[in-house]
Amino acid sequence: MFDKGKFKKRPRYSVVLHDVREKLGLSLNTYVVIDSIHKLSTSDHKFPFCIMSKEDLADFLMISRRTVFRALDEAVELDLIERSERGLRATEKWIRSVEIYSIGTR
């Protein structure tokens, strides 16, 4: 088990939208890595970046460090995550795919 006191901020949950996951061609691990980064980067509007280390993210999600690195590489390649010197955050493409949807479109 991981040390709960180690992380200042942690996402509380991930809701996996499997139709979105399949449409984007993501594995479950990649989806939850991106979702966790999105939640952490939107938790403070003054600093909209996830700064949790890849090692801590791996420990928290109980996946390997290598899996986190692979997920991040895939997410950047698909334009779902952006990297900067400040940290990571989800892109508009992720937000449109997961957070926003249209009803009644043909």
In a domain, 6, yes or no: no
| Per-residue pLDDT tens digits for 8-51 | 677 777 889 999 999 999 999 999 999 999 999 988 888 899 99
Q: Note the pLDDT of residue 38.
A: 94
In a domain, 2, yes or no: no
89 phi/psi in degrees, rounded to 5: -160, 155
In a domain, 27, yes or no: yes
In a domain, 5, yes or no: no
Please report, for the domain that includes residue 25, its CATH number: 1.10.10.10
Contact between residue 64 and residue 58 where contact means Cβ atoms under 8 Å apart: yes
Q: For residue 40, what are the domain limits? A: 16-98
In a domain, 75, yes or no: yes
Q: How many domains does the chain have?
A: 1
The rounded mean pLDDT for the chain is: 87
The pLDDT-based confidence of 6 (bands split at 50, 70, 90) is low
Q: Note the pLDDT of residue 101.
A: 64
Q: What's the whole-model pTM score?
A: 0.84
